[in-house]
Structure 1
């Protein structure tokens, strides 16, 4: 690469012979990684270059010279063109020292003053300042020795001997970060008539802030004294007031109340240690290699590019105890500071807790109720972290997902974060969603047991060690960490209240709009996590095999279904951050066999791929990871489970009605019109692939007969979502059978859960989440929000009489057998009262189509169900599409 030349032709001066000799002696001990890899592209040709390093040091000068030589940059040891400086480099922080028997006092700003004076009176002359950050021992390596972590990079300006040891021990892990150059001429012109001395101090201050920010981003904030954070929390006004209130309430002395608060802070606070983080990363590197076949990060460069200048809060999905270790490890090895992690106090185990605490974990209790002092102390600790610019990480789901779906968010930590920012909005907050995808879970068996009714096993050191021995005997495939679209807090606050900056002046104030902001923030985080999903081979196998009654499929059918699923995800991308396995269908099946998820049964008429009952239950977890990606396709396919023909308008209209419920369950990103646009694109995809036939100028859709491959493929796609509609039907049936003013919300949840459990036993369903009470609770909440049901004065649920019609409407989606089973099992009422829900099947033309405006939800706010039905009839007559729904034929496929 050609060197960037200087504007003035100044004779080059070689570095002293002893300097070059030292560089040659240290060369075997140094291995430099440049960031960016080609820093020459940052510089302007023809302008003299002066490098600025953070700290004065002989070793830093050697490292800089070598990095510049390898990158093809101007030599920092040559004179600076157009000035009297003998070197093209200077340091902001410099040591005082004794040289040849006399004390040499150094003024750090003197090089800047010289450069400013050299430009005075010469408007055509310029110097570009290039800040260069040098870190020795930052990036961990598997071949690093344990002792080397003690000499890794930190915030302390160490002595020459310690720096020499760091070079010898960690020199092969050296990072040299070149920042974008600063034009000194442009800065002078912008300063105007500012005095040179003041201008010099300003430039020096800006450079010091820049180096501080880069160092904080690379090795973490300066948290060398935990005591300073503890003292800051205890001296904060809200905590002092809480201590006084606690003393008065409990009738104890102020000193005793203070000691109680001090104990609480020590229980909570992290004790971050750079050597411990380095040591743990050294151990984890080997541990991950034994456990996983690879860890991949996607879109990390996008996340790192937007992070500088923000208080970053990582908000990943929570699938496993390995989540926070994996994310912290990958951030560390990628050159980003490890965040402080909110961990449950149940993980503060003897021997484990102190290590986690020194790795950045701070502990919180499961509930703050009944302990006002603890609540105030914890809130203040979070506020101190935000105020100091410490990156954080927490899981807004509140716990690990046992089903593979994202859980409904709990906004407690979000509220604390937002209130801390409102109190001191110095640094904008950025929430970074992260999707974590596994191919096999360490906790898989325990999750299945908990969902089947077994109590959750309490964490203990013995249990951890016992589990670790079992874990190391298996392989768990690959892991993916996908970084989603980040969310800035300020725009959300601006949208909620234009004057939030003035309203938040009172630290104790809780604005009326705070809850709505945090609710929208929590929902958007979950949506962005889902928009960054990784689709691995196990996800695709689970989607296909679990859609068949016996979890088995002929190899030829499975190959075709996998090919269809990949084509669907490629041609209709959910978002630009979703990643898809590059394996072809045959390789996916082979990989599933290798991982032990599927077994091959050889047969003369063609091999069959199957998964056992227990494996099928565990496999449902990985199907649920990606259900949202196929929601639109599954809805379209569901419309043709029991119908041969259906108008396109009916599919879209029913989609509008059902969408709010599946959106709340799967955290889908579109509004209603956006969902309909996705449905249109999906229908067109099915028509192109031959799964549906479009007639009547595209107004009527028809699927093939039951024995055709296209009908089978549609059925497989539909069954990934059909259980959601069965849960909805169970809820509606329970309400209708028991009648209004009979059940509370909790009683309805319990009735629905028992019905689903019994139905699962009778039908051997392999999805434990089918009877998850949280999913029923979410659906009931959506019914409340849409005013389909409401609570009367006695706390019982009331509803409009039109709700009973929903039971009849469900026959468009659910089969007669499923509906009869649910109605028979659901507790309450009697069979005669439910007869209205089981009207005979109709050979339908448009006039006999059911009142679909009430299917599973309320009609839009601007129309009654009768109006919607009338508009539907008028529209269909105007387009002459006389056949909207035709019941399915009875010629079942042999695969059934």
Structure 2
């Protein structure tokens, strides 16, 4: 649905940087070529090499060391940094924070209590008070030393402008990623080091909170990556709430008055690691990075043609104001100090605030992100029928896609006034022949997807713009794929709404949906598709939508626009279907008397093996659907919906385990013990399957169901056998403590699902 002009004017501007001049352009701005225009210039030019240009090389080094011009690092937004004594001042501020002092005192009291119980301190001694005070001072001093060491290992070391100038020069020449060997280097350049897991270390948790408080109280800028890692699929990952929870607690407690959030989108024409991502998603363990590999292969990486990087900034917003707005919506008091008490109600409310905050940041990142030329090419190639596409047709569909992106309020990367044909040519060069091939000796240049798995990374960069249209289209597909005349392919509004609601709930952890709610967003999406002449809406005399079908124009055009939206999301539907089908194999065998718990990793690996087998046997349409990331997300959703139960060990020594919820277990033939295609789980699988793509390579039917179930059951039997084996790393049974904890979790999840209801599109 096109956004109105007012929304475009009110949105965050683009930055045009040329030399030392910065110009603000509205997001709807379209470049026009003027007679005095020059070609687009790179923001960072190539640096001189000592062998070829020794004098220029030495001059450049001297400019960085002396801090000439913009290299001085004097004029920047934010509090003063990079001066002698900064690290010591920050360390003292953190260690002396009231929050941390209170935690140290609390830990000292706990230790004294232990020593008294063990007889180290006797209350009947006449000098008990003196001994206790002395012992308390010793314990607090020891804990304080530990806290100071933790702080020194964690905080940024902004001590020298000369260092950061040299660091910038070195990074731009050598480093493409962070390694353990350069940890100290990065810490002095502004990196903050925190543990991946805090466990039950309350001192460390409080220390990190005190550091965040100190930075926010001092007005320092700091950057965090909300996704927590690199996306292997090309689309945004669900938010990681670690750092965000500390920031939120700083505001809610009143220790910090406000924090200004500025979401940033960074996108690339080509990502170096896509080939490695594919192997990881197919189940090959990630190869550990090391300095030797970088030094041996770094020159080849730096010589690659990787295109351009596009960075966009969303309009900053006040976290304090956002919290107040959310509390008002929930009918709560804006006095957040009431939330500091640890009650179940406050815990639920704080968790809700944290989740909405995290997804708002991701939504804002999506709003300002741009679609790169390589993403346009990858999207078009993977949403067309047939083996390949001619050059003229490729240009036509890319031009159409650009128009649709802008109509949806999205941004397309500036092309520097270059014609579209040149932009596509450069995009094809960046992608390379390993991803996009060209058939030689034909009447017209014809291109085809060589590696569809890798290209899906670029297609996924656009999917967030069209997720509503995609869900509506595949929901209509439940009738469209039945064939027949136009009237036979129409779907009622009620049936469409139910399927859209089902799919949006299924993909709640996979995509970021608009926040208007199902009814408003569904109607807006349908009207938008009607205006684009993709669908036709049948209304009653009151104007209420009764049924939906393909428009006559779309049928004449061969369903190319309707198919585009379906092709975007079909691989994800396939993956969810695969994950759900793999759960059938977790139904315990007939002869099994006791509950056996399966390692989560082994269950997901088996689901991947099932997917690869079904793909090569023709029962799965997309090889990318077997990727580990999407299967993992599906399993997470199944756990949230109570389809599977999962437990994690308290100490982390035993791997996470799962079992299929009793009410979701499939029935078995009483004679043969074979799985039957019926029951609650099978109905769930069939509902997903109703939106799956059909074609010449695949048709649903009883024979297919029997074959798939037989294979799933065989793989499941192997899982149960491995779990029960003596050499298994994980316990196949739950301890009493784990069983009690599981009961509480299941009860809490049921209550949450009743309160929250289903996710809305």
The Cα shift of 1:539 comes to: 0.7
1:261 and 2:152 matched? no
* Cα-to-partner distance string for 1:490-546 (whole Å, 9 max, x where unaligned): 134323352544336789999523222212211211222222221111111111212
1:365 match: secondary structure: coil
Counterpart in the other structure of 1:217: 78
CA displacement at 1:399 relative to structure 2: 1.5
Query: 1:393, CA displacement in angstroms?
Result: 1.0
Residues 299-332 of structure 1: CA deviation (Å, up to 9, x unaligned): xxxxxxxxxxxxxxxxxxxxxx66xxxxxxxxxx
Query: In the alignment, which of 630, 641, 662 is matched to residue 775 of structure 1?
Result: 630
Matched position secondary structure for 2:90: helix
Q: In 2 relative to 1, CA 485–797 (structure 1 residues): closer, same or farther, beyond 3 Å?
A: farther
- Report Cα offsets for 1:730-766 as digits up to 9, x if no partner: 3443446765999879476555443334334555989
Give CA deviations for 1:469-489 in whole Å, capped at 9, x if unaligned. 221111210111122344432
Q: 3-state DSSP class of the match of 1:231?
A: helix
2:436 to 573, 598, 618: 598
- Report Cα offsets for 1:114-162 as digits up to 9, x if no partner: xxxxxxxxxxxxxxxxxxxxxxxxx99989854555665xxxxxxxxxx
8 Å Cα contact 2:153-2:193 kept in structure 1: yes
Q: Deviations over 1:600-622 (max 9, x none)?
A: 21344433102323xx3322211
1:805 pairs with 683, 687, 704, which one? Answer: 683
Partner of 1:409: 239
Which residue of 2 is the match for residue 373 of structure 1?
Answer: 203
Q: Supply the distance in 2 between the matched residues of 1:714 and 1:262 (Cα, whole angstroms).
A: 61
Per the TM alignment, residue 696 of structure 1 is displaced from its structure 2 partner at its CA by: 8.2
- Give runs of aligned pairs for residues 179-258 of structure 1, distance below 5 A: 217=78, 220=81, 224-235=85-96, 236-238=100-102, 240-241=104-105, 244=108, 254=139, 255-258=141-144
* Rounded Cα–Cα distance in structure 1 between residues aligned with 2:109 and 2:640: 39
Change (3 A) 1:555 1:633: farther
Q: Which of the pair has the greater relative contact order for Cα pairs under 8 Å at 6+ separation?
A: 2
Specify which of 812, 824, 827 is matched with residue 707 of structure 2. 824
Shift of 1:798: 4.2
In structure 2, the residue matched to 1:814 is 692
Question: In the TM superposition, what whole-angstrom CA distance separates every residue of 1:17-47 from its partner, at most 9, and x where no partner exists?
Answer: xxxxxxxxxxxxxxx989999xxxxxxxxxx
Q: How many Å apart are 1:714 and its aligned residue?
A: 3.3
The equivalent of 2:523 in structure 1 is 677
Give the match for residue 569 of structure 2: 721
The alpha-carbon distance between structure 1 residues 571 and 517, as it changes in their structure 2 partners (threshold 3 A), is closer
Post-superposition shift, 1:807?
Answer: 4.0
Q: How does 1:727-766 map to 2 (within 5 A)?
A: 727-735=575-583, 746=600, 749=604, 751-762=606-617
Secondary structure in structure 2 of the residue aligned to 1:392: coil
Other-structure match for 1:564: 400
Deviation at 1:723, TM superposition (A): 1.4
Deviation at 1:268, TM superposition (A): 1.0
Matched, 1:642 2:481: yes
Q: 1:34 to 1:458 in 2, by over 3 A?
A: closer
TM-superposed CA distance for 1:682, in Å, is 3.7
Larger radius of gyration: 1
**Contact 1:532-1:579 within 8 A present in 2 as well:** no
Q: Is the 8 A contact 1:784 1:790 kept in 2?
A: yes
Q: Mark the CA change 1:229 to 1:397 in structure 2 (over 3 Å): closer, same or farther.
A: same
Report the Cα distance in structure 1 between the residues aligned to 2:596 and 2:229, rounded to whole angstroms: 33
Distance 2:369 2:63 in 1: 38
State the 1:367 CA deviation.
1.6
SS of 2:229 mapped into structure 1: coil
Q: What are the within-5 Å matches in structure 2 for residues 422-571 of structure 1? A: 422-494=252-324, 495-496=326-327, 497-503=332-338, 511-512=346-347, 513-547=349-383, 552-571=388-407
Aligned-partner Cα distance in 2 for 1:172–1:429? 29
2:383/2:567 contact within 8 Å kept: yes
Q: How does 1:583-662 map to 2 (within 5 A)?
A: 586-595=421-430, 596=432, 597-613=435-451, 616-638=452-474, 639-640=476-477, 642-644=481-483, 645-647=489-491, 649=493, 650-662=495-507
Counterpart secondary structure, 1:719: helix
Aligned equivalents of 2:567 and 2:528: distance in 1?
Answer: 16
**Distance 1:766-1:232 versus aligned 2 partners, 3 A rule:** farther
The structure-2 alpha-carbon separation of the partners of 1:358 and 1:550, relative to structure 1 and needing over 3 Å to count, comes to: farther
Distance in 2 of aligned mates of 1:459 and 1:355: 17
Give the TM-score of the pair, scaled to structure 1.
0.56
Q: How many residues align?
A: 585
Q: Is the 8 A contact 2:252 2:336 kept in 1?
A: yes
1:553 & 1:542 partners in 2: Cα distance? 12
- Counterpart of 1:547 in 2: which secondary structure? coil
- Pair 754,408 (structure 1): closer, same or farther in 2 beyond 3 Å: farther
> After superposition, what is the alpha-carbon deviation per residue over 1:575-597, rounded to whole angstroms, capped at 9, x for unaligned?
xx675767665334312332225
Q: 1:667 to 1:773 in 2, by over 3 A?
A: same
Task: Give distance in 2, aligned partners of 1:487 and 1:222.
Answer: 30
Give the 3-state SS of the residue equivalent to 2:262 in structure 1.
strand
Q: CA deviation at 1:571?
A: 2.7
Q: CA deviation at 1:429?
A: 0.8
Deviation at residue 432 of structure 1 after TM alignment: 1.7
What are the within-5 Å matches in structure 2 for residues 23-422 of structure 1? Answer: 145-147=60-62, 170=69, 217=78, 220=81, 224-235=85-96, 236-238=100-102, 240-241=104-105, 244=108, 254=139, 255-273=141-159, 274-283=161-170, 347=178, 349-350=180-181, 352-369=182-199, 371-422=201-252
Is contact 2:585-2:713 (8 Å) kept? Answer: yes
Structure 1 residues 247 and 267, CA gap change in structure 2 (3 angstroms): farther
One of 667, 673, 695 as aligned partner of 2:512: 667
Distance 2:174 2:278 in 1: 25
SS at match of 1:531: helix
CA root-mean-square deviation: 4.6
Aligned runs of 1:778-797 on 2, under 5 Å? 778-782=633-637, 789=643, 791=645, 796-797=660-661
Q: CA offsets, 1:810-849, max 9 Å, x none?
A: 554224626456773355459xxxxxxxxxxxxxxxxxxx
Displacement of 1:440 in angstroms is 0.9
- Counterpart CA distance in 2 for 1:806 and 1:219 is 58
Q: Classify 1:673/1:510 alpha carbon distance in 2 versus 1 (closer, same or farther; 3 Å).
A: closer
Q: Tell which deviates more after alignment, 793-802 or 367-376.
A: 793-802
More strand by share: 1
What secondary structure, in the 3-state scheme, does the structure 1 residue paired with 2:568 have? coil
Q: Distance in 1 between matches of 2:611 and 2:321?
A: 42
- In structure 2, runs of 5+ residues without a counterpart are 1-18, 25-43, 48-55, 121-134, 484-488, 589-594, 648-657, 665-678, 715-752
Alignment partners' CA distance in 2, 1:380 and 1:508: 23
The answer to whether the 8 A contact 1:601-1:609 is kept is yes
Asked if the contact 2:639–2:646 (Cα under 8 Å) also holds between the matched residues in 1, the reply is: no
Length-normalised TM-score, structure 2: 0.65
Following the alignment from structure 1 to structure 2, what is the Cα–Cα distance between the partners of residues 702 and 396? 40
